[in-house]
Structure 1
């Protein structure tokens, strides 16, 4: 999002790049994520979340700061790629770490809170940019340079804080670099471990010092019953990519000033947090994971269709309202979708790799989606919206297919008269 705000401050003209180059840079950033997603989660198991996740955030923040020195196309592309490489594994690592602390029935809300960081950043970034960009010319730096510098330094501070404060796992909760803020008594730890073991008697400590062999990776990749999860996420999440890059610019093209556009762009991203938590709450409340995902995707599809056909016939403020609605529902299903995948993985190592694959598919979708909004289709991108409608529709079909796969598998188990219970060697899939 700071790139999206930088574009409203003349970044593209200053470094002499066009919209195709911006899209290419974003694609390379997403590619960096995809390439190192699984190896990163394997490292997480080996050295633990405190050290690995903290190191990733510090490296990412340092690269973000170095964007201050971007002056040409080559430097822009290089920093985009490095940002992707340093970020790879952070989201699946964080999601997997959460799954080692909470039981399945309560996981969706925690996953939603985790994603508040990602999607809340989209809400806060334009607001921060509205202020930071006013430093234009201070100490000889452009506004977009201040934007990259300030937000990069803040990210480094977050990485150091994680190193000092992030708990490890229920067996070893003390943070690596300090006593931590949360103190666990012996009774607390006993209760915590017993409730996790009650859900899965074969549970093992699996966040530090463990090894994920490549055989488990291959076995997880070949588990075809979960492939539709990845395809659905690829299709629907791809539509979020152009929104993160061009929403402020689209709002600015409606006739708002740069500062107004960045502030107004934050409204949809802020409302998205409410939508995310509502669907996460429904997912935990009803335990109907697939139905919740389809409900979230359906709401998004309806908003896209309305925007596509109403947009050309309304004025400035209704157009802003339509783009705000699109951003509000664009990711509401996403945390619930991740939880749906997680509760259908039994072995911790399998769950870790599956989460990485899910993130790889989502980010691969964003890599493709970076091309949905083309310069010749601007400033309101009707063809881009049409393509988004198609991709969401296809993604919904894959999600519905995933529900059918799980239901049919469970019926086969029932017909075979197998006692299908967690912890007994048979996996009951949760549609």
Structure 2
């Protein structure tokens, strides 16, 4: 007989089973201790990797306030095109790189990927013209492809369903935290302008790129791979998992879901499964919704510091003030993630976050022309604060509705591709003829968020109707498996 969850008593043998099922033979205290080790090793390291990706990808926004576009003689249209090429590079290699992650494992693949990205980011100091800028953005995108779905999938091999949403939110703090930290760092680094004959934007690319390379070395020495390979690649690691803890981490996932095995590698993904996942039409509203709403974040990350300069602040103050909205966004993201985990109503949490963002955009566009400098800053801060609150929750919602871990991996990649395609489209929302406050761009953002919210509602309806049909015995699986019951 299995122990009750709160028991702190002696173990049953790990080989004890009942009717072919695994038996929980560890205490809650032991499970918490093992999980705490994940929280203090795997999670912060993946967070750090995403943080430096975002720093290197989005420091362009601060470089623009430091005269970057003028120095290399490019227009706003070229800046938008460069960002589109970067996002295109991510989309092209997202699924192939995610399949490579499965083959090589996160310890090797992610460390090498962060190193390549850091090297390319550092070499941006040599950009002199339009061609160099466009090439560098394209290669940055190619180097980044696969990191987010790889990191999210790796977390899913360590955490249970009820634990995952908050951890994914923390992971995405790396992205959103990088967006908050980048202008703060830039406000200091840009003061080096002219030192040793180097422009401020060159110092920005150089220092943040070298920091990324340092992080890649850290991953090599400290990042665990998965519950079945918890030892880092080049060292025993600072935080070590005992055989008993490793066993707990693996078996607790199997207790929750027999299809969810504790490993992030050694599971080849055949093209047949990739095609099956692509054709799973019941998840398509997820991807349309993500594409539409996330597209609105792209112009904010590129032009918020420039917009604040246009309000009448100098470039140093503007970069510091741009961090306010991005910092508040961290609180908003975690708040919706907490709501999602607390209620287990994933769709409702996503839609609620959409509504908050939509209302903020509408108010900002209507009020903006009629208020003063600081009120306008407050409006842009509010828009940045709610721009991504739905994002980690939506990712978790997609994951929870995948059965096979390999299917989960491909679905995450598809979700990220949808988001990146959105970002690529969104680079054109803020145009040079709409400066300085982008009234037309804000209208486009309102339309896209509305579309995304509608498709999130459609997704809830699709899952609800399917679950009802299964409950009534009207739906059977064509491949002989038990019909899927979706998390709503």
Match of 1:281 in 2: 338
Q: Select the residue among 246, 250, 264 that pairs with 1:193.
A: 250
Q: Distance in 1 between matches of 2:474 and 2:292?
A: 37
Q: How far did 1:419 drift?
A: 11
- 2:130 is the alignment partner of 1:82: no
1:252-275 deviations in Å (ceiling 9; x for gaps): 100000000000000000000000
Match of 1:40 in 2: 97
Match of 2:467 in 1: 410
Q: TM-score, normalization: structure 2?
A: 0.86
- 2:442 is the alignment partner of 1:382: no
1:190-223 deviations in Å (ceiling 9; x for gaps): 2222211111123334412321111110000000
Q: How far did 1:105 drift?
A: 1.1
**Contact 2:121–2:140 (8 Å) recurs in 1:** yes
1:261-293 deviations in Å (ceiling 9; x for gaps): 000000000000000000001111100000000
Instruction: Give the number of the structure with larger relative contact order, counting CA–CA contacts within 8 Å between residues 6 or more apart.
Output: 1
Q: Select the residue among 150, 173, 179 that pairs with 2:207.
A: 150
Q: Select the residue among 210, 220, 245 that pairs with 2:277.
A: 220
Q: How far did 1:339 drift?
A: 0.3
**Contact 2:469–2:475 (8 Å) recurs in 1:** no
- 2:220 is the alignment partner of 1:166: no
**What's the secondary structure of 1:168's corresponding residue?**
coil
**What's the secondary structure of 1:124's corresponding residue?**
helix
Match of 1:313 in 2: 370
Q: How far did 1:84 drift?
A: 0.2
- How many residue pairs get matched? 428
Structure 1 stretches of 4+ with a deviation exceeding 6 A read 417-420
Q: Distance in 2 between matches of 1:117 and 1:291?
A: 25
**Contact 1:206–1:349 (8 Å) recurs in 2:** no
Deviates more, 1:206-215 or 1:55-64: 206-215
Q: Select the residue among 137, 142, 155 that pairs with 1:98.
A: 155
**Contact 1:293–1:337 (8 Å) recurs in 2:** yes
- 2:76 is the alignment partner of 1:19: yes
Q: How far did 1:418 drift?
A: 7.8
1:97-125 deviations in Å (ceiling 9; x for gaps): 00010011111000001001111000100
1:42-78 deviations in Å (ceiling 9; x for gaps): 0000000011011111000000001000000000000
**Contact 2:179–2:326 (8 Å) recurs in 1:** yes
**Contact 1:340–1:430 (8 Å) recurs in 2:** yes
Match of 1:179 in 2: 236
Gaps of at least 5 residues in structure 1 are: none
**Contact 2:250–2:262 (8 Å) recurs in 1:** no
Gaps of at least 5 residues in structure 2 are: 1-57
Q: TM-score, normalization: structure 1?
A: 0.98
Q: How far did 1:427 drift?
A: 1.6
Query: Within 5 Å, which residues of 2 pair with 1:29-428?
Result: 29-416=86-473, 425-428=482-485
